Amino acid sequence: MKKIEKIESLRKEINKIYKRIYRLQESCKHRHVTKKHGSNTGNYDPTQDCYWTDFICLDCDKRWTEDGSK
Count of domains forming the chain: 1
Whether the predicted pLDDT of 70 surpasses 80: no
Q: The pTM is what?
A: 0.75
Closest C-alpha to 34, from 5, 17, 7, 59: 59
Tens-place pLDDT, residues 4-48: 999 999 999 999 999 999 999 999 999 999 999 999 888 788 778
Q: Which helix (H) or strand (E) holds 63?
A: strand 63-67
